[in-house]
A and B are shown apart, each in its own frame.
Chain A
Amino acid sequence: MARQLVRNPLSLLGIIIVVVFVIIATFAPLIAPPPEGHLNHYMIPRDGYSATPQPPSEEHIFGTTQGQYDIFYGVIWGTRSAFQVGLIVIGIVLVIGIVLGSLAGYFGGFVDEVIMRITDVFMAFPGLILAMAIVAVLGPSLRSVMIALTVVAWPSYARLIRGDILQVREEDFIEASRGLGASSMRVIIRHALPNAIYPTLVMASLDIGAIVLAAAALSFLGLGAPEGYADWGQLTSFARNWIVGPPLNPFKYWYAVTIPGLFILFFVLGWNLLGDAFRDILDPRLARR
């Protein structure tokens, strides 16, 4: 599998990008050391209160954005928040999806009917709109964003798992283990799930990018991280008032606008490339022809 991953140049690029981001997230305190006496490391240190962004200098490598927040510090620590949001949401979604999906698929009948109708309700909404409504009701915060994205994402996982369990359920080895007197729980965990879980894991790896993107979008809309929190979406929204420079230098504030967005773009791109590669290897059914 490792060889297959490395052979395709696009997958290799994906791996490199994701690894670079993992390194950035792990060594954030070394790359962008928080100033002495800074209590919450996720809050971006600010250098004054002037609104106008300041260009890159020795002190601020990527310059400062509106409100004198240091862009370099923001994007480095923002990598950590991005991983947190992506991995926590996907983790919870996988647990909910796998539990409900296997129950529905394995037992069928009434249980299946109830769980599937619940997924129908959630899937009747366009995703980002449902997420936005949930965040608005819970009150804007990063925690609300994670809850909202979990609520939006779990139904498709439950359905996918259900379908695959449904197929596996009819196999002889399931019959055999049932015949030997194994409990339903044991059959699901030891026999059905291991044969049905790969497509779900592939989908999860493909979805991490999408979830980080959605979280960034919500933060951009002002529904996510509190002001000053290291978050790419919020850094982008700080730049909204500075897309146009003075007449002679229209790109004057380019650093405030482009840099946070490039981090989002490459982070999502890396995960998408990696997810594509996983799909080709693990799930030949979905592989592109």
Chain B
Amino acid sequence: MADLPAVIEQYGLDEPFFVQYGTWIGHVLSGNLGWSVVVGMSVWDAIWNFLPATLELAIFAAPLIILTGIFLGTQAAAHKDRPVDHGTRVLAIFGWSLPTFWFGLILLMIFYGFFRGLLPPGRLSIQMDLVIHSADFIRYTHINTIDAILNLNGPLLLDALRHIVLPVVTLSVVQVAFIMRLMRSSMLEALGKGYILTARAKGLAERVVVNKHARRNALIPVITISGYLFAGLANGVVITETIFTYKGIGWWAWQAAVNLDIASVLGFALFNAALFVLINLVVDILYTRVDPRVRLGQGVQ
């Protein structure tokens, strides 16, 4: 406690609020996000250290979400007001209302408890953790499944996959519901267009009309949701990784938040915001490339 005045002096804690803020901005702009107390390394190092695990989740979850969402949404629109449509609508409403943290616990209760450790929490079992840290295992990417394939290690791949199934499912449920509904309304709009009438009139099979003519056009507006998808995954990762003690960036952020490690939490939020803005920018650019009408339409106005 005797050092208190010295510490206050050193960190400028007696300066006015905006001077402190200026100092902080200066640090951030020069790449210094502070020190993460919970893991004992700089916030930057912590982000790079935990990012691969989270990327691994995203690599599996994103395609699953997009493909299932688009497939179910197409089916619902193609069979509007039939059982498939009603079924997916009820599923979507349940999906939105589902507390993901509770859903994850239920999954663990069934697949870890009832099926005796079939799909365990964590990222790897203890033996496999020793394998990846052994000398003759090269960690190319720190993404376990990819490293396992590159090192031609079958058991490790299987173990990594066993640990990843439940987090990926938990992460995907809500997002699938969201994309499915969006795809459905986009599809319905496309199906009402004149070229669909033409396609049907010239006697094309319904499957071709739906999959080739309607869906391709319906996909264009769906591109814009990539931003939302990112936000949903970023939010979901915190909860999912916490439930499954899957040590990725979300788990670290949770540890930091409950231990009042403010620098880490702010660094994590800032990192996510930067990515979010970047992704939205890319989406906007992509959108004008894929659909020139957007660009031309603005020119006319």
Contact = CB atoms under 8 A, between A and B. Distances in A.
B106 A257 contact: yes
Contact of A272 (B93, B266, B268): B93
A281 B242 CA distance: 40
Interface string A121-151: 0001111111011011101100000000000
A125 B272 contact: yes
B16 to A, nearest CB: 18
Interface centre among A10, A216, A221 (most CB of B within 10 A): A221
A38 interface: no
Interface in B37-83: none
A254 B268 CA distance: 35
Contact of B113 (A210, A243, A266, A272): A243
A240 B245 CA distance: 11
A289 B93 contact: no
Interface stretch (A97-105, A106-114, A168-176, A244-252): A244-252
B262 interface: yes
Contacts of A124: 273, 276-277
Interface string B256-299: 11101110011011001100110000000000000000000000
B220 interface: no
Contacts, number: 141
B93 A128 contact: no
Contacts of B99: 213, 216-217, 220, 233, 236, 261, 264-265, 268
A160 interface: no
B257 A221 contact: yes
B185 A251 contact: no
Interface string B208-251: 00000000000000000000001110110011001100000000
Contacts of B113: 243-245, 250-251
Contact of A268 (B97, B101, B268): B97
B168 to A, nearest CB: 18
B231 A127 contact: yes
A272 B256 CA distance: 33
Contact of A264 (B102, B114, B235, B261): B102
A130 B269 contact: yes
B105 interface: yes
Contacts of A217: 99-101, 239
Contacts of B273: 124-126
Interface in A247-279: 247, 250-251, 254, 257-258, 260-261, 264-266, 268-269, 272-273, 276
B140 interface: no
A15 interface: no
Contacts of B158: none
A243 B239 contact: no
Interface string B128-170: 0000000000000000000000000000000000000000000
18 contacts: A10-B93, A125-B272, A126-B230, A126-B232, A127-B231, A132-B265, A133-B265, A136-B257, A217-B101, A221-B101, A236-B102, A240-B243, A243-B113, A244-B113, A251-B113, A265-B94, A265-B98, A268-B99
Given A221-B238, A272-B93, 10 more contacts: A125-B269, A125-B272, A126-B230, A127-B231, A129-B234, A129-B253, A133-B269, A209-B97, A265-B98, A268-B99
Interface of B: 90, 93-94, 96-103, 105-106, 108-109, 112-114, 116, 185, 188-189, 230-232, 234-235, 238-239, 242-243, 253-254, 256-258, 260-262, 265-266, 268-269, 272-273, 276-277
